[in-house]
Copies of this chain bind each other. A is one copy, B any other.
């Protein structure tokens, strides 16, 4: 059974209907990997299913989100992006404001950050939505951006 089929089954198990559109969307997401935008999935999935409408991507994504199968995150600029959720692990993103590159954050580090903030503020960071903006090492080495509080 392919990754896409497993996801389809999970979606059905959670009470959502599995249509050909959703099948193709899941298949596409499974093949494309993380940090996807709606447009990216749309372009790719429409090749497999030409009549597919972009509103369907948005609505499917909302269903997947309600089903707890994808996490959304908001890079500082540009459209919302999303990632298939691994239920067993926290997941976060470092977004470089210079090169737009997205890097995943280590699960353990997320756990520590969540605890640290919770201990001090009684605010519980969503470990599936953790997105941090800043400067990546490559951009810093290249002299773009700065690493001091100005």
Contacts and interface: CB of A to CB of B under 8 A. Distances in A.
Interface of A: 68, 72, 74, 76, 87, 90, 94, 96-97, 103, 105-106, 109, 112-113, 116-117, 120-137, 140, 147, 149-150
Contact of A121 (B68, B74, B106, B147): B106
A109 B118 CA distance: 11
A133 B125 contact: yes
A23 B137 CA distance: 39
A82 B90 CA distance: 29
A48 B104 CA distance: 46
A149 B128 contact: yes
Given A117-B94, A117-B132, A137 B109 contact: no
